[in-house]
Chain A
Amino acid sequence: MRNKDNFLNELNESLYFFSPEEKSQVIADYEELIIERNNDGEDIQNIIASLDTPDDIAKNYASELGIKYSIAKKYIANTKNKSQSKFNEFKNRDHKKSKVTQISDALVYFLITTGLIIKSIFKFFLTLFLYVTLICLIVSLILFLVLFNFDAYNFMIKSLITIGVGSGISINVIMIYGLNKYLGKIK
């Protein structure tokens, strides 16, 4: 369940195709709307729940203005913003500006950006990859059990392979669970 700040933050991220001024105008519109409806006696939580999701709102703006809405572009834009603000945070720590600090600034900026891009690619593809592997493992296990005739020797090999596949699946499940939890935490 979103609260007002979450909602406005997410909306800000979803409106990646707008300039900062345009974004803050939309945010101001929604803030005004929420306060006005609240003054009319509606509960803030209910108001937020009755609004469309930030992504849907952004999509409406995009389609009205003839822009193609892309989740990938949203992701890249926000990664860039995040790296910019992390860089600024870093830069403000020391005030002396020599040539050496300028070069190291550039280096740190580069590293932060690359790191964040790798993180976004990693997050998307690794999760996808894990789910695909999981499905493949389950399907191959079923095929294996269905297609072979039963005899004692086979059964031994079968159980060994079954154990192997089973542990593969368990490792997958644990990894998917752990990954989601980890990524949820650092997001």
Chain B
Amino acid sequence: MNQQLKKGILEICVLSFIMKEDRYGYEIVKEIGDIFEVKESTIYPILKRLSNDGLLDTYLQESSSGPARKYYKATSSARSYLDEEKTKYFEFVNIVTTFLSEY
């Protein structure tokens, strides 16, 4: 799959995954990585950019099993951004589906 396209879609999925509840780094890398077959080196930069853009906040929380975990939390502006991007994505998928079924 085209890398650029995949990155755009990953961004939406990562954001949506964190929107549901706060997630820690390894959890995101494992879940998203398994489903979309991408490595941590693709996911961490996306998390970093979303944080830079003010869509994600981070905080540390102790864990019982190991080191302190860095949790990602969606900010208030993330919700409207995600809704917009999801709408755009579904429109795009519709267009592509229609096109591919015609030609």
Contacts and interface: CB of A to CB of B under 8 A. Distances in A.
Interface stretch (B15-23, B46-54, B74-82, B90-98): B46-54
Interface in A29-51: 29, 31-33, 35-37, 39, 51
A39 B44 contact: no
B51 to A, nearest CB: 9
B26 A65 contact: no
Interface residues of B, number: 19
B26 A32 contact: yes
Interface stretch (A52-60, A83-91, A130-138, A176-184): A52-60
B64 to A, nearest CB: 11
Contacts of A35: 66-67
A33 B25 contact: yes
A4 B45 CA distance: 21
A33 B26 contact: yes
Interface in B23-60: 25-26, 29, 39-42, 44-46, 48-49, 52
Nearest to B49: A64
Contacts of B45: 60-61, 63-65
**DSSP class of B's interface residues: helix, strand, loop or mixed?**
helix
B52 A65 contact: yes
Interface residues of A, number: 19
A29 B39 CA distance: 14
A31 B70 CA distance: 11
Nearest to A53: B41
25 contacts: A28-B70, A29-B44, A29-B70, A31-B67, A32-B25, A32-B67, A32-B69, A35-B66, A36-B66, A39-B65, A39-B66, A51-B39, A52-B41, A56-B41, A60-B41, A61-B44, A61-B48, A64-B45, A64-B46, A64-B48, A64-B49, A65-B45, A65-B48, A65-B49, A65-B52
Interface of A: 26, 28-29, 31-33, 35-37, 39, 51-52, 56-57, 60-61, 63-65
Interface of B: 7, 25-26, 29, 39-42, 44-46, 48-49, 52, 65-67, 69-70
Given A32-B70, A61-B48, 20 more contacts: A26-B48, A29-B70, A31-B67, A32-B26, A32-B69, A33-B26, A35-B66, A36-B66, A39-B65, A39-B66, A51-B41, A52-B41, A56-B41, A57-B44, A60-B45, A64-B7, A64-B45, A64-B48, A65-B45, A65-B49
